Structure 1
Amino acid sequence: MGVIEIKNLTFGYDSQGHNLFTDANLVIDTKWKLGLIGRNGRGKTTLMKLLQGQLPHEGKIFHQLQFTYFPQPVTDPSQLTYYVLQGQGEFEDWQIQRELNLLKVDPDILWRPFDSLSGGEQTKVLLALLFVEDASYPLIDEPTNHLDILGRKQVADYLRNKRQGFILISHDRSFVDEVVDHILSIEKSQLVLYQGNFSVYEEQKNMRDRYEVEQNEKLKKEIGRLKQTAAEKAEWSRGREKDKYGKANVKGSGAVYDTGFIGARAARVMKKSKNLERRLEGQIAEKEELLQDMEYIDPLKINYQPSHHKLLLKVTDLVLSFDGKPLFKPVSFEIQQGERIAIAGANGAGKSSIIRYLQGNFTGEATGEILRPNQVATSYVRQNYEDNRGTLPEFAESHGLSYQDLLNNLKKLGFERTVFQNPIEQMSMGQRKRVELAKSLATPAELYIWDEPLNYLDVFNQEQLETMILAAQPTMLVVEHDKTFLEKVATQVITLEAPE
């Protein structure tokens, strides 16, 4: 297709008070399958909008492309899916059916109302529309949010086998790893391009970071030495200035000094000292400009209280049902202290229903046995946290939490200071998710029960959570679709099976 050329791009939102991009330069080959990586709030979706010409900016963006963007807005989800897609773009019936087949979706889905489809089915039909013809260039923003593990694998296979290039934003590291051949990382002060998938990016970035840490340490030592030398020279010159007045004015000493000579000598010394000080300041400034603007990720803290109970939860032959229809085959498992049990299964298999049942919020029928000691302190991360409201100090007080602990973890999760004063209900979904997570981390607990904790979190946050969990070894029950996260933190995976 050609290239996208970015020259001297500068852009920032007035409300943030700083630029997301400053004099950024980049050339993107549109044949690449490019993964766009960066912390939340660094400008990934903003860059997509800039490419589409939706935001005013300084600098130039050159291309001759027709962009198509995912997720496309659906104005009337009550329509049949076929007509929803027709309202989004032009296609022949055979084209859309071909793409749905490649995505392992029955084309009959086109004749169902769009709002009757599951989140994963909606994702797949909207993705199919991006690729009905080769003329457009897809911009794909977070396609995995509503996909289970199987759905993510199907979509990853679909995108990997496409001949045309695209730009993809996703926080699922294993998904990105399977799909892309280049990574564009939005880092603190620059755009950095890597050739390869996410694993190659991580390896190269870690090497680069280690080198920059070493160089920073050398520069900091040199800057410290220069500053010490400058301070010593300044003190010495002040001492010489005192010579002009000190001894000459000692009463009763009987000594006679040539104050003119002393003054001239002090002036010469002071001039040399000032010149030296200016040279040292110049050298310090040059060294400080060389310091790399490193991406430091602070470790999170969890208020884990190891229990005196060895067994914290025992589930025997549990079956949850709606209107007499079971969601899954009978399931049994135990959670011993220090274990992290993950529940896996397809969308709709009943994973979150088990979490709701343990919370006492399940509205269907249940059979089987649940055994857990009395008064085990439990902390939750919920999928639905719409009831989190008020300012952060009010929120901390209402939940009996340390406001400082809540605030510290929010800062480490990348919360911007400008957001701290906002009521929670006015925050973005990503910010509200961080509040829910920070609340759970600050809650003193023996058992943590987390339902899809990684939704809306960037890859840096995910790595923070993994590092914290492996260090603290808390007892956990987790529902999550992210393969990399489960491989790193889960001690056992329980897969729910569909009833016969």
Structure 2
Amino acid sequence: MSKIELKNITFGYDTQGTLLFDQANLNFDTQWKLGLIGRNGRGKTTLLNILQNKLAYNGQIIHQLDFLYFPQPIENKQQLTYYVLQEISEFEQWEIERELNLLQVDPEILWRDFETLSGGEQTKVLLALLFIDEYHFPLIDEPTNHLDIVGRKQVAEYLKKKRQGFIVVSHDRSFVDEVVDHVLSIEKSQLELYQGNFSVYEEQKKIKDEFELAQNEKLKKEVSRLKKTAAEKAEWSRSKEQDKYGKASEKGSGAIYDTGAIGARAARTMKRAKTIEHRMESQLSEKEALLKDIEYIDPLTMNYQPAHHKRLLAVENLVLGYAGQTLFQPISFEVNQGQRIALAGRNGSGKSSIIRFLLGQFDGESSGDVIRPTNLKISYVRQNYEDNHGTLLEFSEKKGLDHQAFLNNLHKLGMEREVFQNRIEQMSMGQRKKVELAKSLAQPAELYIWDEPLNYLDVFNQEQLKALILSVKPAMLLVEHDQVFLEEVASKVITLTEHE
């Protein structure tokens, strides 16, 4: 058992002008299964890079174990998986086969070209390689991306049974809930460590936020009362000062006035007003210390333009395949106005292939019929969007977007305005996903086709999308592996059955 300690870690990117971490401190055990959470752009992957000494920072990191990062970089995907893994790390064949069996993956996968594996299969073989090494501390970045529901459960079971600790970053709440025993949250102003899983973190965070909001409301009322009292006393004091001098000038007329008493009372009142002012300043500084870590979520907008047609898409007896090998048994479904149809199935079952076919991008064999109105306006969120380049202005002009609506949604999704100046290819994966999503929301559309929209998005963004979809009720064809999300937004789930 050993410790990892961060002392006074300070770091910020030159392009952003603000610090991601300012004198941050952290101490945790290498046997902890630590879930690292926080909004996109808050610094999760940056923190993992700092631990690996990939970024120049101020402060000190004390550790006995070196760190190992997932997903591991791969130089040549066009060779057998076994040799791809050998280029990353040395291992015995029985070791990798043991881990694959624990992940419920057929070891024969080692003798297939790595580039032919599905995203979920690639995830599993790289995780298997990660846990062969017992002399490094694993840093696992977004393992649930591209994993289907079954795959997520298999990986969760695998991680739960591991004796060694790790840090895992994932936006899948159910997954994090299952596998972690501590949570490290990157808040707006600090690092917060919680003992327990994600549900424990959510409950404690909710209690803390509610307490701060109640304290804030109480202080607001107190400050308002003090302001009013201070103003009244100051006004009374000023008026008495004026009276004193006015009355004193009348002494020559024979009238008798105690101007000294009036002045003393006015001075005491002014002193009390000053005391109230100091109390008010103290209350205001208390108020400023609150609410620093409360997340404010603005509703998104969608340029949905309902079609005049009731039925937007009809698929009848569709079969897709490659080289005579079909991907799934014949499938039929419709997408009507106001319906959100979800496609479900294991990794590699053909969900994304159906989307590519509907968009005219499928290069395999097909049979069956597709009926849809001519000139149907479709907005598409892709799984892979690495070809998005340039400044945000260049991108929105190229895509014909309303630039202001595009930027507004990006900001509501949590992208800081300083990042607006960055080129898309220089952004984090979470920020680039937001660009792809904000593009879709800004496009005028009668039908939305979204392929795994939640990848890289934090839990706050997921809530925003859920609220938007349930409010607008657009026509949508959706592929997503987050079961909780699907249960909340999908009108109907179509499950693909693999061909026997």
Per the normalisation by structure 2, the TM-score is 0.87
1:102-141 alignment runs, 5 A limit: 102-141=102-141
How many angstroms does 1:465 deviate by?
Answer: 0.9
With 150-159 and 15-24 compared, the bigger mean Cα shift is at 15-24
Aligned to 2:170: 170
How many angstroms does 1:168 deviate by?
Answer: 0.6
Work out the CA distance in 2 between the residues paired with 1:249 and 1:447.
84
With 175-184 and 38-47 compared, the bigger mean Cα shift is at 175-184
1:73-92 alignment runs, 5 A limit: 73-78=73-78, 80-92=80-92
What root-mean-square deviation, in Å, do the aligned CA atoms of Structure 1 and Structure 2 show? Answer: 3.2
Contact 1:230-1:280 at 8 Å conserved across structures:
no
Letter in 2 for 1:191: L
Contact 1:219-1:291 at 8 Å conserved across structures:
no
Distance 1:373 1:255, change over 3 A: farther
Work out the CA distance in 1 between the residues paired with 2:386 and 2:166.
34
Letter in 2 for 1:202: E
Aligned to 1:296: 296
How many angstroms does 1:333 deviate by?
Answer: 0.9
Q: What does the per-residue CA deviation read over 1:419-467, in whole Å, with 9 as the maximum and x for residues that have no partner?
A: 2133444444332321221122223333221111112212221121112
Work out the CA distance in 2 between the residues paired with 1:387 and 1:139.
27
With 134-143 and 355-364 compared, the bigger mean Cα shift is at 355-364
Gaps of 5+ in 2: none
Distance 1:102 1:265, change over 3 A: closer
Per the normalisation by structure 1, the TM-score is 0.87
Contact 1:35-1:184 at 8 Å conserved across structures:
yes
Distance 1:94 1:357, change over 3 A: closer
Work out the CA distance in 2 between the residues paired with 1:175 and 1:29.
21
Distance 1:244 1:365, change over 3 A: farther
Contact 1:6-1:62 at 8 Å conserved across structures:
yes
Distance 1:391 1:24, change over 3 A: closer
Contact 1:240-1:269 at 8 Å conserved across structures:
no
1:418-497 alignment runs, 5 A limit: 418-497=418-497
With 420-429 and 64-73 compared, the bigger mean Cα shift is at 420-429
**Structure 2 counterpart SS, 1:407:** helix
Letter in 2 for 1:334: E
Distance 1:115 1:402, change over 3 A: closer
Q: What does the per-residue CA deviation read over 1:303-338, in whole Å, with 9 as the maximum and x for residues that have no partner?
A: 334444332222111122344443321100122322
With 442-451 and 386-395 compared, the bigger mean Cα shift is at 386-395
Letter in 2 for 1:183: V
Aligned to 2:149: 149
Work out the CA distance in 2 between the residues paired with 1:306 and 1:129.
49
Aligned to 1:185: 185
Distance 1:55 1:373, change over 3 A: closer
Aligned to 1:11: 11
Distance 1:306 1:232, change over 3 A: farther
Work out the CA distance in 1 between the residues paired with 2:394 and 2:85.
45
**Structure 1 counterpart SS, 2:225:** helix
Work out the CA distance in 2 between the residues paired with 1:394 and 1:244.
71
Aligned to 1:321: 321
Work out the CA distance in 2 between the residues paired with 1:334 and 1:248.
93
Work out the CA distance in 1 between the residues paired with 2:377 and 2:256.
85
Percentage of matched positions with identical amino acids: 70
**Structure 1 counterpart SS, 2:342:** strand
Contact 1:342-1:490 at 8 Å conserved across structures:
yes
Distance 1:230 1:47, change over 3 A: farther
Q: What does the per-residue CA deviation read over 1:122-141, in whole Å, with 9 as the maximum and x for residues that have no partner?
A: 32222112222433321111
Work out the CA distance in 1 between the residues paired with 2:432 and 2:75.
25
How many angstroms does 1:262 deviate by?
Answer: 8.8
Contact 1:329-1:499 at 8 Å conserved across structures:
yes
Distance 1:423 1:291, change over 3 A: closer
**Structure 2 counterpart SS, 1:420:** helix
Distance 1:376 1:109, change over 3 A: closer
Q: Give the length in aligned residue pairs.
A: 498
How many angstroms does 1:179 deviate by?
Answer: 1.8
Aligned to 2:310: 310
How many angstroms does 1:271 deviate by?
Answer: 5.8
1:371-390 alignment runs, 5 A limit: 371-386=371-386, 388-390=388-390
Contact 1:237-1:273 at 8 Å conserved across structures:
no
Aligned to 1:212: 212
Letter in 1 for 2:161: N
Distance 1:20 1:425, change over 3 A: closer
Work out the CA distance in 1 between the residues paired with 2:436 and 2:241.
63
Contact 1:189-1:293 at 8 Å conserved across structures:
yes
Aligned to 2:351: 351
Gaps of 5+ in 1: none
Aligned to 1:101: 101
Aligned to 1:61: 61
How many angstroms does 1:157 deviate by?
Answer: 1.8
How many angstroms does 1:237 deviate by?
Answer: 4.8
Letter in 2 for 1:342: A
Work out the CA distance in 2 between the residues paired with 1:272 and 1:175.
58
How many angstroms does 1:249 deviate by?
Answer: 9.7
1:222-371 alignment runs, 5 A limit: 222-239=222-239, 273-371=273-371
Contact 1:212-1:292 at 8 Å conserved across structures:
no
Q: What does the per-residue CA deviation read over 1:216-265, in whole Å, with 9 as the maximum and x for residues that have no partner?
A: 22222223333333444454555556557788999xx9999999999998
Q: What does the per-residue CA deviation read over 1:466-491, in whole Å, with 9 as the maximum and x for residues that have no partner?
A: 12222322221101122222122112
**Structure 1 counterpart SS, 2:414:** coil
Letter in 2 for 1:152: R
Work out the CA distance in 2 between the residues paired with 1:9 and 1:103.
36
Distance 1:475 1:207, change over 3 A: farther
Contact 1:219-1:288 at 8 Å conserved across structures:
no
Q: What does the per-residue CA deviation read over 1:83-107, in whole Å, with 9 as the maximum and x for residues that have no partner?
A: 4434433433322221122122333
Contact 1:454-1:480 at 8 Å conserved across structures:
yes
Distance 1:321 1:289, change over 3 A: closer
Work out the CA distance in 2 between the residues paired with 1:291 and 1:174.
27
Contact 2:319-2:329 at 8 Å conserved across structures:
yes
Work out the CA distance in 1 between the residues paired with 2:232 and 2:391.
50
